[in-house]
Amino acid sequence: MHANSRFKGGTFLLYEEERKQKIADYVQEHRRASVQELAQHFQVSESTVRRDLKDLEEVGKLRRTHGGAMLLQNDNNEPPFVEKEDRFRAQKEAIACAALSIVQEDETIFLDSGSTTYCLAKLLKNYQKLTVVTNSVMAATELSSSKGIDLVLTGGTLRHETLAMVGPIAEKTLDYIRVDHVFLAINGFDVESGLSTPSLIEAEMKRKMIGAGKQVVLLADHSKYGKVSFAKVAGMEVVDLLITDEGLHEENRKAIESAGIHLITT
């Protein structure tokens, strides 16, 4: 018989601390699990599972979701732009296509620096009259030869990892502009933790972007959901519209919509 378990009705029952650890291990292995699934697997009530999940979240072992739990993903690494560009390329291109339908002639938009916003930049070349403000070196290069685009660069200091212009000069530029739409890129997001990125200086730049827009549109593929990076940008309530792909789990979609955020999946 296990030292930390007891025998009842032909079944080994785990003591509380051992059960919690095994629940954490189960979620780690499967990446997500529902309350019902965990209750059946460990032969305890759903109310017991909910209490265990609450305790495990408080000590940083997992993240609770609506109806279950998921792997806690702390992501403070910043891969180079060229590496990010290749990840989920088809999904990012579809998200960019959906975002394009929002942009009307004669509007002013802000393009954040990111691989998905870069996909959107590539689609803007045929506009006849559009003002694009950006801190993205890649987006600026892409749009530099488009005669119908009035291109405004924020200036600032180049952050090599993301090819983004950041810092006090870039932030000061945003004090003087207002745009119709901000197309925001992010490293991680979810309803509980909000928007986050590995860099404090980029987080501050994104907060300035958010404040400059009439509408904030978050462009993020499903892999970003549930990731939490070092620097918090803002809560999810600042997002007016999220455009993502169908890889986003149904329970996460429901959580986002319950938070009052309009959601488009591609």
pLDDT given for residue 149 in this prediction: 98
Is 208 in the same domain as 186?
Answer: yes
Q: Are strands 188-190 and 194-197 parallel, antiparallel or unpaired?
A: antiparallel
Is 127 in the same domain as 255?
Answer: yes
Average pLDDT over residues 211-238: 94
pLDDT given for residue 204 in this prediction: 97
Supply the mean pLDDT for the chain: 89
**Separation of alpha carbons 117 and 198, rounded Å:** 18
42-51 confidence digits (pLDDT tens): 999 999 999 9
Which domain, by its residues, includes 255? 81-265
119-172 confidence digits (pLDDT tens): 999 999 999 999 999 999 999 999 999 999 999 999 999 999 899 999 999 999
pLDDT band at 29 (very low <50, low <70, confident <90, very high): confident
Domain presence at residue 198: yes
For the whole prediction, is pTM greater than 0.85? no
End-of-domain residue from the set 71, 97, 116: 71
**Separation of alpha carbons 104 and 216, rounded Å:** 15
Is 179 in the same domain as 234?
Answer: yes
Catalogue the long-range contacts made by 246-250 (C-beta closer than 8 Å, 24 or more residues apart): 246/222, 247/91, 247/221, 247/222, 247/223, 248/222, 249/32, 249/222, 249/225
CATH number at residue 15: 1.10.10.10
Q: Are strands 5-8 and 11-14 parallel, antiparallel or unpaired?
A: antiparallel
Is 148 in the same domain as 67?
Answer: no
CA distances from 130 to 56, 109, 181 (A): 50, 8, 12
Percentage of residues in the chain having pLDDT higher than 70: 89
Total number of domains in the chain: 2
Is 152 in the same domain as 33?
Answer: no
